[in-house]
Structure 1
Amino acid sequence: MCFFDQHRFVCGDWKWGHFRQHCNREYRIGETCGMKLIMQTVPVGQKCKLCERIDTKQRRRAAEVERVNRWQREGARFKASIDKSMDIIRGLDAEIYELSCERNRRLQGIGSHG
């Protein structure tokens, strides 16, 4: 079991960092045994890329919802714009759902970290 750094994001996700130390099971120079243990955890002051993508899509969705609400208050003359924004919102909902599923798989350890 060879030792690596672990980078932990504020969202709770993590990734493997640099290799730090060989274990006594690996005798080949420059190789690791394949089993990773944590040498030290390095806090990262931001969210992982997956969470950042989810946040970006949620902000865009909120902006579209606000536009729809504004157009609905102004009357029926914006029906085509409202319909287009509603399509965008549905698409963003699907993307947010898929990213959230991917994030949940990572947190459960099903996906690969790193």
Structure 2
Amino acid sequence: MCFYNQKKFACGDFSWTGFAHRCNYEYRTGETCGMKLVNMTEHDSVICRLCEKIETKRRRRSAEIERLTRWEREGANLVASMDKSKRLIGDLGKEIIQLEREREEKQKHIGGRKF
């Protein structure tokens, strides 16, 4: 049980920042026991990097959807561009789902360990 500082983001995720001090139960000199306990938590007003990627992809996907609906509404003859836009929307949707799964997995594995 060694103590680490923690950074908590606005989205609810956290990251371990720095080693604070060792516990009394460690018998090997110069090593940590592997169990992480929170020494101090600093709150950050920004979201984590992974949530930032998810939000960016969602904004890009919604912009593509708006562009596609505008083209369909105006009756544009840009069939090739519309097909490309539809594929891009699908790809962005898959990337968003994959990033959300990655975030869920990260939340399940607190401190890098499976429970």
Using structure 1 for the length normalisation, give the TM-score: 0.90
* Separation in 2, partners of 1:85, 1:45: 34
Unaligned runs of 5+ in 1: none
* Separation in 2, partners of 1:77, 1:106: 45
Percent sequence identity is 51
The equivalent of 1:78 in structure 2 is 78
State the AA in 2 paired with 1:35.
Answer: M
Shift in alpha-carbon separation, 1:28–1:111, aligned structure 2, 3 A: closer
Shift in alpha-carbon separation, 1:21–1:46, aligned structure 2, 3 A: same
* Separation in 1, partners of 2:78, 2:67: 10
The equivalent of 2:62 in structure 1 is 62
Shift in alpha-carbon separation, 1:82–1:110, aligned structure 2, 3 A: farther
Using structure 2 for the length normalisation, give the TM-score: 0.89
Pair 1:21-2:24 in alignment? no
Q: Is the 8 A contact 2:5 2:16 kept in 1?
A: yes
Q: Is the 8 A contact 1:72 1:78 kept in 2?
A: no
- 1:3-22 alignment, distance < 5 Å: 3-22=3-22
Question: For this pair of structures, how many residues does the alignment match?
Answer: 113
Q: Is the 8 A contact 1:20 1:39 kept in 2?
A: yes
Give the deviation of 1:61 after TM superposition.
0.3
Pair 1:104-2:104 in alignment? yes
Give the deviation of 1:30 after TM superposition.
3.3
| Cα displacement string for residues 27-51 of structure 1 (whole angstroms, at most 9, x for unaligned residues) | 4443211111000111111111110
* Separation in 1, partners of 2:12, 2:69: 34
* Separation in 2, partners of 1:110, 1:23: 19
Give the deviation of 1:23 after TM superposition.
0.7
Segment of structure 1 superposing worse, 30-39 or 48-57: 30-39
Unaligned runs of 5+ in 2: none
Give the aligned CA root-mean-square deviation in angstroms. 1.8
* Separation in 1, partners of 2:110, 2:21: 26
